[in-house]
Amino acid sequence: MECTCTNLVLFSTIWLLFSISTDSSSVDVLRIDKTIRDGDTLVSANGEFELGFFSPGRSMKRYVGIWFKKISQGTTVWVANRDAPPTNTSGILMIGKKAISLLDNSTSTSFDFPGDTILSGMKLGVDSVRGLRWEHSSWKSDDDPSPGSYVHRIDVHGYPQLLLWKNSELHTRSGPWVGNRFSGDPLVKPRIYKNEFIIGQKEIYYISHAVDKSSNTPATRVILTPNGNLRRQDCRSKCLKNCSCTAYSSTNVEKDGGGCLLWFEALMDITGYTEYGQDIYVRMPASMSDKSKRSRVNPLPFICISVVLTLISSLVALYLFKKKRLRLKGRLNSFEETMELPLFEFKRVANATCNFSRDNKIGEGGFGPVYKGLLEDGQLIAVKRLSESSRQGIDEFKNEVSLIAKLQHRNLVSLLGYCTEEGERILIYEYMTNKSLDSFIFDKELSKLADWRKLYQIINGVARGLLYLHQDSKLRIIHRDLKASNVLLDDEMNPKISDFGMARSFGGSQTEANTTRVVGTYGYMPPEYVIDGVFSVKSDVYSFGVLVLEIVTGKKNRCFEHPDHNLNLLGHAWRCFNEQKLEELVDGAILESSQHEVFQVIQIGLLSVQEYPEDRPDMSSVVLMLNSKTALSKPKHPGFFTARKRHANDYSPSEPMLSSSNDYSITMVAPR
């Protein structure tokens, strides 16, 4: 009779498997010098595992193994005598005293010799003290549990990773450990395993614990088959036993797959695995599965449905567009009834501009193009036609018309009429022969024609126009978008403030307001407006100060560059003032005419752009300072006096710049 006596390795492994249950008893313990004969079994206390002799597949040899007790046969998780099996049923399992001495150690010595199955809590790695290597090796075949060609082990050289070897050839790898998983493992929700990687002085190992520890499910396991793969059938079985599982697939990039990937509920991450050409098995009702097997899907109904849906969508879009146009027309019609300005027919405006000819186009901004026109009586007009994509909507259009219609001042542009026929939004202004201020002061050739008297006249005129808006008109009006391109010049170079689309009017004693929609142009807006959305008459004073410095220097604030620093025009002017080098700001020809007056105007500009609004003068004080010889206070540092490097060329006055818009600002440069 051939007898098989197991050693300490068998005992330590048995002890862990049989101690999974928290309720241990003598039933699941094989005591000293006791035996188990072929045909007898030992069952763990919780009935999860069973120990005994078995013959795998069609083999006639007998092996000592452990298998799941609660599920079908053929689910062996460990084999003791893989290389030395008895050839008949006369084998006996005995435990000697040497094995018992190991029983007093912790269960960390268990699972020291894994087989083809890794259970929850089993280690993969090395024990340098005891010279152990915990590896996961396949069977030679389904009938032979002896070590096969495939070995799953931890590579501890460099970044730790899991490697699958076929004999001496590397088959697959998991990628390096990234803190909670191996980089090559897919992210699956909900998490099935809790992964850990332990690096100590004595041991380096990877261990995985099943998250679902409910007693009514089999212990989680991973099987390395004789061909080096993890069984797809096990993935299918695992998915079918969970009602939340919607699909499963292989995780290996090689053919036939090499791992298990389960999806739960919505298939949100399947596109991450399309490049590998792997199959995904989607769970669906049996009726749908049977139907798909019987016949192929006819694409014609889907094509018809797509065409119908496209047609319906087009009709709905057309209806909404028409409805929007009608609503806009209705709002404009009701607006017309309250206005006293002349209402121009669209045909008349089109004839005046040669049907909005490109030759008549004199400028364009974020609102749309501006055309030169000639009425039947010979009067020249400027036609501002708002485009469909204009940042100036119907409310801004109505605001501009209603405000300008009530304003009468020699330094404000005159609105002659408007047109709202066929949903158009057109404003008709008096024509300014010399176009806008920016085309004059920023042009290298035209700026040479400007003497100090003309520049001073422009500055003083803009100041008086703002004073009228802030103090002398029926309503206190804040322009909010004062800049060089919004100041027009008539044939005598008199300045006229234009573009009131962003203006706000106040009644009574109100002097400031808040807004969540900041509009204006970068470089002209004060800090309190850009940062906090607070605007007041001092906001226009700040814009005026920027404009004054641009007029005197002929430089743009935002586009200003200096080889010695990164300050913008405001910062450079303040630096020159403090260093008493104001002559560096101005052309020598201008200084020859009236140096004291030029320096005084620069100082007024710096007082107007001080950071805090309470430090800035109001427009009545500005007009007084411009027209008297009173001593001026020393300006504090301006707001926004640093600037980033700009690499783009300055825009030409004849070429529009695109508008930019975000939550804090709308930038529009509109040369005319």
Answer yes or no: are the C-beta atoms of 365 and 440 closer than 8 Å: no
Give a three-class secondary structure readout of 577-632: HHCCCHHHCCCHHHHHHHHHHHHHHHHHHHHHCECCHHHCCCHHHHHHHHCCCCCC
Q: Is 234 a catalytic residue?
A: no
CA 211 to chain centre: 33
Cα separation, 572 vs 584, whole angstroms:
10
Tell me the CB-side half-sphere exposure of residue 536, using CA atoms within 13 A: 16
Cα-based distances in Å from 99 to 18, 52, 102, 542: 15, 18, 6, 91
Sign of CA dihedral 451, 457, 463, 465: negative
Residue of 139, 671, 115 lying closest to 439 (CA atoms): 671
DSSP 642: B
Cα separation, 366 vs 506, whole angstroms:
26
Answer yes or no: are the C-beta atoms of 374 and 352 closer than 8 Å: yes
Answer yes or no: are the C-beta atoms of 429 and 418 closer than 8 Å: no
CA 513 to chain centre: 33
* Terminal Cα-to-Cα distance of the chain (whole angstroms): 112
What's the angle, vertex CA 595, arms to CA 594 and CA 596, rounded to 5?
Answer: 95
Q: Locate 52 and state its tokens.
A: 């005994």
Interhelix angle 452-467/537-553, nearest 10 degrees: 170
Burial of 651 (0-12, 13-18, 19+ CB in 10 A): middle
Among the options 28, 112, 127, 481, which is catalytic? 481
Burial 346-371 (b: 16+ CB within 10 A, else e): eeebbebbeebeeebebbbbbbbbbb
Q: Collapsing DSSP states into helix, strand and coil, what is residue 494?
A: coil
Cα separation, 133 vs 114, whole angstroms:
10
Beta strands 504-506; 117-119: pairing state: unpaired
Cα separation, 95 vs 32, whole angstroms:
6
Only one residue has tokens 């027009």, namely: 488
Only one residue has tokens 């980033």, namely: 644
DSSP 265: S
**Phi and psi torsions of 258, nearest 5°:** -150, 15
The type of residue at 478 is: I
Tell me the CB-side half-sphere exposure of residue 14, using CA atoms within 13 A: 28
What residues are labeled active site?
481
